[in-house]
C-alpha cells in the first residue's frame, strides 16, 4: 500500500478472503448523499486488462460485500478544508468488508487503500488479505504545486494530476496560476488581464475551466488553493492593467520597463480589492495564496515617486518596509473577503505584520529547519516545501532524498511542531509542460505523499522501494505515465 496506514502491522495476515470474480456489491449505510465513485470499480477490477477467472481456492472465503458507512454528517456537498476529517477504518473479514469513516473524505481515502489491497493471485482471482486498518493522516495539508504561468497546462493534464494525487492521498492542489511570463486566468472583472497577458487566447483558463478543476478536485477530497503572487512575479499583470506596475527609471527618465506592483498608488489597492473579491468567489477554499516572494527592489529604488513616498512614510531606504506595507494592505483586503492567507517565507523574513493564522510556506533550502523554528516560534503555521522542489531534477533515485525528510526535524517545542500543518511538493514550470509533467512528478511526489500521510517511524527505504515500484506500476496501469524508479518492468 502507498501510503502506509497508521496501524500497518495488521496488514500482514496470511489468511485471505477471496472475491467473486467480477462483482463487488457496495452497500451504503446511513448516507444520504454519498455515491460510490464508479472509477474505483475500474481501479479494482482493471476491466480492460485483467483475465477474469472463477474463484478456485476452496480454502478461502468469498468476499461478497463492501459495506461503507459514514458515521457523522458526510459533508458530501461541501468543499474539503484544512479541518476535514480524513480518518477511516477498514476491516476485511470475509464475507463482508467494512469501510467506516466519519466523513466522506475518509471514505475516499479508505477506498483508495482498499483498491490497493486487492491483488490477483496466480489464477487471476481477485484476492484481499484479512485486514484491520485504522488510518488517518499525520499532516492535514499535503499538497502539490503546479505552475501554469511558465507553461500553460491543458485542463486534461491538470485533471490527470488530480487523479494521481488521489492515488497518493494528496489533498491540496496549490495552483500557481499566474506569474511574470503569462496570465492565463480569465477574470470576469478584468478581462484584459488574460486578453493581454496570456501567451495566446488559446492559453487561457475560462471560468468554466476553473470550475471543472475545482469540482473534479472536490470529488477526490482535494482542495484547490490558487496563488496570485504579488507584488513581484507580476510582469504579465501589467500588460492588461495599465498603471498597476511600478515604472522603472533610468536617472530622471522612465526606462520603459516595469517592476513589481506599485505599492504607493490608491488605484493599486482599488484594483486588488476588486480582483480578490472576484477570486474569493471563484475559488471556494477558505485560503488564498498571496505569494510575496522574491521582490526585486531595484525598480522601486529607481522611481522618484516611490522614494518620495518612502520618505513621507518614514521608511528611509528600507524597502522591506515598503514591501511589508504592501503585503499588510493586501492581507487586509483578503481578510475583508473572509479568506485566510498563505504567503511565501519572505513575507515573514522581511518582518511584515501578519494576522494570526496566516500560513507561511517555507521554500528556501538553506537551513530551512531554522526557518521552521523561527516561524513556529512566532506562532504561525508552516507548510514545508524547501526539501521538495521536484523541478530540481538530477540523475538517479532522488525520491529517496524526498522520503528521508522529516518535517518536524527542527528545534522547537511540541506546540511549535503542532504548527507544521504539512508540506507541498513543488513542480515549477520553467522546464515543464504537458510533454513531461507526469513522469517528472510521479512517482517522485509519491515519496512526499507517504512522508506527509504516514507515521514518522515509517522510514525503511528498502521496504518503501518495494512498495513504491508496485505503486508506480499501479499508477501506470491507471493511466498515469509515472516514470520508473530503476530497472525492471511492470506486469501488464
3-state SS assignment for residue 100: strand
CB burial of residue 432 (10 Å; 0-12, 13-18, 19+): buried
481 binds other proteins (CB under 8 A): yes
Count of residues interacting with other proteins (CB under 8 A) = 24
Least CB distance to other proteins at residue 77 (A): 37
Least CB distance to other proteins at residue 490 (A): 9
The residue assigned the cell 458507512 is 69
User: How far apart, in whole angstroms, are the C-alpha atoms of residue 258 and residue 248?
Assistant: 5
User: How far apart, in whole angstroms, are the C-alpha atoms of residue 212 and residue 221?
Assistant: 14
Under DSSP, the state recorded for 432 is -
Q: Is 342 left (phi over 0), alpha (psi -120 to 50) or beta?
A: beta
Least CB distance to other proteins at residue 433 (A): 9
366 binds other proteins (CB under 8 A): no
95 binds other proteins (CB under 8 A): no
Nearest Cα residue to 480 out of 20, 32, 140, 43: 43
The verdict on whether 294 is a catalytic residue reads yes
Least CB distance to other proteins at residue 158 (A): 18
User: How far apart, in whole angstroms, are the C-alpha atoms of residue 134 and residue 486?
Assistant: 32
- Judged by beta carbon, residue 13 or residue 440, the one nearer other proteins is 440
Are 413 and 450 in contact, with CB atoms under 8 Å apart?
A: no
- Judged by beta carbon, residue 301 or residue 433, the one nearer other proteins is 433
Binding flags for other proteins, 384-403, as an x/- string (CB under 8 A): -------xxxxxxx------
**Count of Cβ atoms closer than 10 Å to residue 473 Cβ:** 18
- Judged by beta carbon, residue 93 or residue 433, the one nearer other proteins is 433
Are 474 and 487 in contact, with CB atoms under 8 Å apart?
A: no
Dig out the grid coordinates for 258 from the structure.
516595469
Least CB distance to other proteins at residue 409 (A): 25
Active-site choice (62, 294, 346, 483): 294
* Residues 417-436, interacting with other proteins (CB under 8 A): 431, 435-436
Residue from 321, 364, 476, 478 touching other proteins (CB under 8 A): that is 476
- Judged by beta carbon, residue 415 or residue 466, the one nearer other proteins is 466
Q: What is the DSSP string of 173-184?
A: EEEE---SS---
484 binds other proteins (CB under 8 A): yes
482 binds other proteins (CB under 8 A): yes
User: How far apart, in whole angstroms, are the C-alpha atoms of residue 198 and residue 244?
Assistant: 17
- Judged by beta carbon, residue 12 or residue 489, the one nearer other proteins is 489
274 binds other proteins (CB under 8 A): no
- Judged by beta carbon, residue 136 or residue 182, the one nearer other proteins is 182
Sort strands 126-129 and 131-135 into parallel, antiparallel or unpaired: unpaired
- Judged by beta carbon, residue 405 or residue 481, the one nearer other proteins is 481
Residue from 124, 140, 154, 439 touching other proteins (CB under 8 A): that is 439
**Count of Cβ atoms closer than 10 Å to residue 349 Cβ:** 17
212 binds other proteins (CB under 8 A): no
Under DSSP, the state recorded for 249 is E
The runs of H, that is alpha helices, within 118-206 are 155-167, 192-197
62 binds other proteins (CB under 8 A): no
Residues that bind other proteins (CB under 8 A): 391-397, 431, 435-436, 438-440, 476, 481-489, 492
Catalytic residues: 294
Amino acid at each position: 500500500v502507498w501510503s502506509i496506514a497508521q496501524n500497518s502491522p495488521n496488514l500482514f495476515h496470511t489468511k485471505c478472503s477471496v472475491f467473486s470474480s467480477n462483482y463487488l456489491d457496495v452497500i451504503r449505510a446511513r448516507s444520504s448523499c454519498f455515491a460510490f465513485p464508479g472509477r474505483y470499480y475500474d481501479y479494482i477490477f482493471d476491466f480492460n486488462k485483467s483475465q477474469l477467472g472463477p474463484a478456485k481456492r476452496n480454502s478461502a472465503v468469498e468476499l461478497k460485500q463492501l459495506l461503507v458507512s459514514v458515521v457523522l454528517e458526510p459533508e458530501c456537498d461541501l468543499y474539503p478544508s484544512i479541518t476535514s476529517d480524513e480518518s477511516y477504518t477498514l476491516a476485511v473479514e470475509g464475507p463482508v468488508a467494512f469501510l467506516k469513516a466519519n466523513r466522506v473524505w475518509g471514505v475516499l481515502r479508505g477506498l483508495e487503500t482498499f483498491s490497493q489491497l486487492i491483488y490477483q493471485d496466480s489464477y487471476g482471482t481477485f484476492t484481499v488479505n484479512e485486514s484491520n486498518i485504522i488510518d488517518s493522516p499525520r499532516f492535514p495539508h499535503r499538497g502539490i504545486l503546479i505552475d501554469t504561468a511558465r507553461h500553460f497546462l491543458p485542463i486534461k493534464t491538470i485533471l490527470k494530476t488530480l487523479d494521481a494525487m488521489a492515488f497518493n492521498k494528496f489533498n491540496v492542489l496549490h495552483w500557481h496560476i499566474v506569474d511574470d511570463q503569462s496570465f492565463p486566468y480569465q477574470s470576469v472583472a478584468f478581462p484584459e488581464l488574460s486578453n493581454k497577458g496570456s501567451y495566446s487566447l488559446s492559453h487561457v483558463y475560462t471560468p468554466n475551466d476553473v470550475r471543472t478543476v475545482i469540482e473534479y478536485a472536490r470529488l477526490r477530497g482535494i482542495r484547490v488553493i490558487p496563488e496570485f503572487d504579488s507584488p513581484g512575479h507580476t510582469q504579465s499583470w501589467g500588460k492588461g492593467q495599465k498603471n498597476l506596475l511600478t515604472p522603472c527609471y533610468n536617472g530622471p527618465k522612465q526606462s520603459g520597463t516595469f517592476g513589481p506592483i506599485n505599492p504607493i498608488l490608491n488605484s493599486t489597492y482599488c484594483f486588488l480589492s476588486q480582483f480578490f473579491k472576484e477570486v474569493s468567489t471563484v475559488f471556494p477554499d477558505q485560503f488564498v495564496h498571496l505569494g510575496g516572494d522574491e521582490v526585486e527592489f531595484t525598480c522601486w529604488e529607481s522611481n522618484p515617486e516611490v522614494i518620495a513616498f518612502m520618505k513621507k512614510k518614514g521608511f528611509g531606504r528600507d524597502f522591506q518596509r515598503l514591501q511589508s506595507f504592501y503585503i499588510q494592505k493586501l492581507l487586509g483586503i483578503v481578510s475583508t473577503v473572509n479568506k485566510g492567507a498563505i504567503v511565501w517565507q519572505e513575507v515573514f523574513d522581511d518582518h511584515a505584520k501578519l494576522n494570526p493564522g496566516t500560513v507561511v510556506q517555507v521554500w528556501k533550502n538553506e537551513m530551512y529547519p531554522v526557518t521552521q523554528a523561527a516561524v513556529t516560534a512566532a506562532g504561525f503555521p508552516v507548510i514545508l516545501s524547501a526539501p521538495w522542489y521536484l523541478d530540481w531534477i538530477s540523475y538517479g533515485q532522488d525520491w529517496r532524498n524526498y522520503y528521508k525528510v522529516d518535517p518536524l526535524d527542527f528545534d522547537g517545542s511540541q506546540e511549535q511542531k503542532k504548527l507544521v500543518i504539512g508540506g507541498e511538493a513543488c513542480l515549477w514550470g520553467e522546464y515543464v509542460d504537458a510533454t513531461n509533467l507526469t513522469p517528472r512528478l510521479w512517482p517522485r511526489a509519491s515519496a512526499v505523499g507517504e512522508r506527509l500521510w504516514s507515521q514518522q517511524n515509517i522510514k525503511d527505504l528498502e521496504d518503501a522501494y518495494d512498495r513504491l515500484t508496485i505503486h508506480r506500476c499501479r499508477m501506470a496501469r491507471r493511466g498515469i505515465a509515472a516514470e520508473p524508479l530503476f530497472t525492471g518492468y511492470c506486469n501488464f
